[in-house]
Amino acid sequence: MASTLKYLMIFDFDETIINENSDDSVIQVAPGQEIPAWLRETFQEGFYNQYMQRVFKYMGDKGVRLADIKSVYEKLPLSPGMSDVFRFLTKNQERFEIILLSDANVFGIESFLKSNGFYSLFSRVISNPTKAEKNGYLTLGPYHTHTCLKCPANMCKRKILTEYLAERSQDGVAFEKVLYVGDGANDFCPSVLLTYTDIAFPRKNYPMHQLIQKMEEKGTYQAKVVPWDSAEVVTHSLQGLLNSS
């Protein structure tokens, strides 16, 4: 029976699926392709979501249209090897439940996925909520509140993953393995939930990988760790999993 169980596959977005930070990329449609110093100086560590709320308002005030913002998201470059991962998952979709968990925003991520033909792969896109306002502005909100001291005020991915697994368990769904592909410190936080049967795929030498290595030195990190420069490494691991099951 075990072979009929699905794998839960979780992807981060910025610097994981795409090879840059979409919040930085969207600045290219701002006037003069930059944000003024007075606005940049309002940024506070841990409150990036609130900062981006102000950036989108500024861009709306300056007449940047939603279509301009959307076109940036649609053209974001994939990380090396990521198109191969998605091709592999498309062919083997029945074995995976795939979700996207990102501190970017729903509008940007969905624009990218739909434009690149990957949208149907994901059973859920979990990100900060956006709204296209009647006046043409894009407004952004926080995802939730939480008590984690290590994560940004608007999103703790560990809390989200905990709730997602509980919800799926109530639906009667058990996963053979949890597979997590990410790069940032906010991807490390949920990855500590993974057990010895699961796999963490941190982008090599990015914060998630560095934090995992510190835990590995202490012998306290449970999941199997497969670092990647190119996501071809992820594809090979997934092939190995399906071949062995």
Residue 171 is labelled as binding a ligand: no
Q: What's the CATH number where 122 sits?
A: 3.40.50.1000
pLDDT of 194-225, one tens digit each?
999 999 999 999 999 999 999 999 999 999 99
- Domain with 215, as residue range(s), is 2-244
Residue 23 is labelled as binding a ligand: yes
Mean pLDDT, to the nearest integer, of 30-58? 96
Number of domains forming the structure of the chain: 1
Residue 103 is labelled as binding a ligand: yes
pLDDT of 77-86, one tens digit each?
999 999 999 9
Which residue of the set 14, 61, 171, 198 is catalytic?
Answer: 14
Q: How confident is the model at residue 4 (pLDDT cuts 50, 70, 90)?
A: low
For the question of residue 12 being annotated catalytic, the response is yes
Kindly report whether the global pTM for this prediction surpasses the value 0.75.
yes
For the question of residue 14 being annotated catalytic, the response is yes
Nearest CA among 190, 200, 68, 57 for reference residue 130: 57
Nearest CA among 157, 140, 181, 185 for reference residue 45: 185
Residue 183 is labelled as binding a ligand: yes
Would the pLDDT of 2 be above 60? no
